[in-house]
Structure 1
Amino acid sequence: MGEDLFWAIRGGGGSSFGVITAWKIKLVQVPSTVTIFEVSRNLDDGGSEIFTKWQTVAPKLPAELFLHAVLGVSNSASRLGNKTVVFSFTGMYLGTAENLLPLMQESFAEFGLQRSNFTEMSWIQSVLYFAGFSVDQSLEVLLNRNITSSSFKTKSDYVTEPISSTGLEGLWKMLVLEESQFMILTPYGRIMSEIPESATPFPHRKGMLYGIQYSVSWDSNEDATKYIKWIRTLYDYLALYLSKLPRRAYLNYRDLDLGVNGPNTSYVEAQFWGLKYFNQNFKRLVEVKARIDPENFFRNE
C-alpha cells in the first residue's frame, strides 16, 4: 500500500483514495465500569455563566473525564419571546461514581452533583446511551441503518480562544430565533493536544479548546431556504470569535458551502476548503491523490 497512502486513508477522506475492503483494528482496553451524568441549565438559572466556565475548564479536565455541551432552545414564560437557551452538559468518566464525585465537586461545584446523579454502566452500555437508546436494549439496535426522513444542514467550527461574553450574548439571541436546531460542543485538550498535527490527516490538535457542530433540520422542502439561511447567518456571526487563517472545519460534518470536489476541481479551488479541513496536511494529501488517482475517479460528491 505504501506509507503515504496508509497515512492518507486514516482521516483524509478514505473514499477519495480508493475502495477499502477491510480494516485491521488495534483494540484498546476499556474499564469495567464507566459513569454517566447529565446536567441541564438555562439562561434563568446560571446556564450562561456555567458555559463560560466550561469553555476553559472542560479541555483541561483529567483524561478520564469527557464533558461536552449541547445548546438548544425551550419555552420560557420569563423571557422576551417566551424562549430561552438550554445548556445540556453530559459527562462520561472512565471509572466509578465514587471517584468521579469529588472531581466534579471541585471542577464544577455549580452543578451541585450528588452520588445519586451518577449512573454506572459498562462501556458498551455507554455506546447505547450516547446513541439515544436504553442501556438495557440489545446491541443489535446499533446495526439499525434506517435513514431519517427529515432534511438537515450541518456546519462546523473550532474555538481557540474562549468566546467573549459579548459574543455569547449575541449567540443566545440568535439561537432563540430557531427551535429546530442544536449545537454540540466537544472539548479537546489532553490527548488531542499530545498527538502531532501531522500524525494523521486530521489536524485539529494542539491549541483547540473545543469543536462545534451546528445543525438544523426540517421536514418540508418548502422550509429549506429558511433554515439554511438561518444556519449560514449564525455561522457568519461567529466568524469573529473562532479559529482563523484558516477558519477550520471537520471533514465528517461535510459542508458543501465550503466547496465541492468535482471531476475537474483544480488545486487552487480545492485549497479553499482543503486547508479548512486539513490545514497543512492538505498539501501531502494532494500529493498522494495525484500519484494514485490523478484522474480523480474516486470522489463522493
Structure 2
Amino acid sequence: MTRAQQMQQFQGIPAAAGVAIAPAFLFSLAEQAAETPTAGTTTPDQERARLQQALDAARAEIQRLYAQARERLSEEDAAIFQVHEMFLQDPTLLQEVEKGIAQGQTASEAWHQAIESQAAVLESLNDPVFSARAVDLRDVGQRVARLLAGESNEIPFPDEPSIIVARELTPSQTILLPKDLVRGFGTVQGSKTSHVAILARGLGLPAVVGLPAAFLETVQTGDMLILDGNAGVVILNPDEATLAAYRQKAAEEAQRQAAAQAQGAQPAVTRDGRRVEVAANLGGGGEEEARRAVALGAEGVGLLRTE
C-alpha cells in the first residue's frame, strides 16, 4: 500500500470548533531573514537608520493588520495587533538593540538578539499569558527582521480551498488567512489559549494545535485531510467511509449554525411570556462590529467601550 493510500489519524489539541474537509496546504515562511549587510561594513549611524526605517515600515504593516482585524473580529480580539505595535516602541527592547548596534553589531543582529532575549524572559515565567506574549514578540521580531533584510512579509496562500498545515502560525499570519480559501488549520506548536487559537475562534476557522511532529513529516501538499476542531483530531488520507461520516457531521453542524442564526433574529421571550431585549457589548469596532451584532440578533447596544 502506498503512502497516499494509507489512512492515519493524529491527535492534537482542539483549539477552534468545527469540521473541515479539504486538501492539505503546507505553509512555511522562513523564520529568520538572511543577515544583511555584513557586520563591519557599515557605521552604527547607518544601522540605526536602517532599523528606524524597518520599524516605521513594520508599524504601517501592523496598523493595516489591525484595521483588517477590526473588520473580521471583535475589538477585543483585534486588540492583539495593538500589542504588536506597542512592542515596536518598547523602551527595554529598543535599548537592548541600541546597545548591540553601539558595540558594532548590525541592526539585524542586534534586533534578533534583543527579541530572543526578551522572548526567553517571557517564556521563563511559565505562564500561558506570557507565553502568548512571547509568540507575539517573535511575530513582530520576524516582521522587522525581514524588512531589515529587504524581504517581503507577503504570505503564500493556496489557490484552492485547503487546510493549512504548519509547524506554527503567528497572529499576523492567521488574520490574513482568506476565509474563501482556508477551511481550517493544524499546527504542531500552539495552545488552546494562544492568540492564534483566539483568532481562529473569532474567524470561525476550525483549528487543531499541538499535533505530533510526525504529522508534519508525513503530510504533503494535496493530501486529503479531515480536521476535527471539536475533538482535536486530524485524519490523513481518509477512506470513503470516514469521509462520508465526517461530511455528514459537517452538514449537521452547518444546519445547527443556520438554525441558531435564524433563531437569533426572533424576539427573545421567557417561558412565562416576558419580552427581553438582547443588547450587544461593542468595543469600538465601528460600523462593521455593529453590523455583525445585528446579524447575530442584537436589538441595541448594552455597553459601548470607548477607551
Query: What TM-score do you get using the length of structure 1 for normalisation?
Result: 0.25
Q: What's the TM-score once normalised by structure 2's chain length?
A: 0.25
Which structure shows the bigger proportion of residues in helix conformation?
2
Q: Which has the higher contact order (CA 8 A, sep 6+)?
A: 2
Larger gyration radius, structure 1 or structure 2: 2
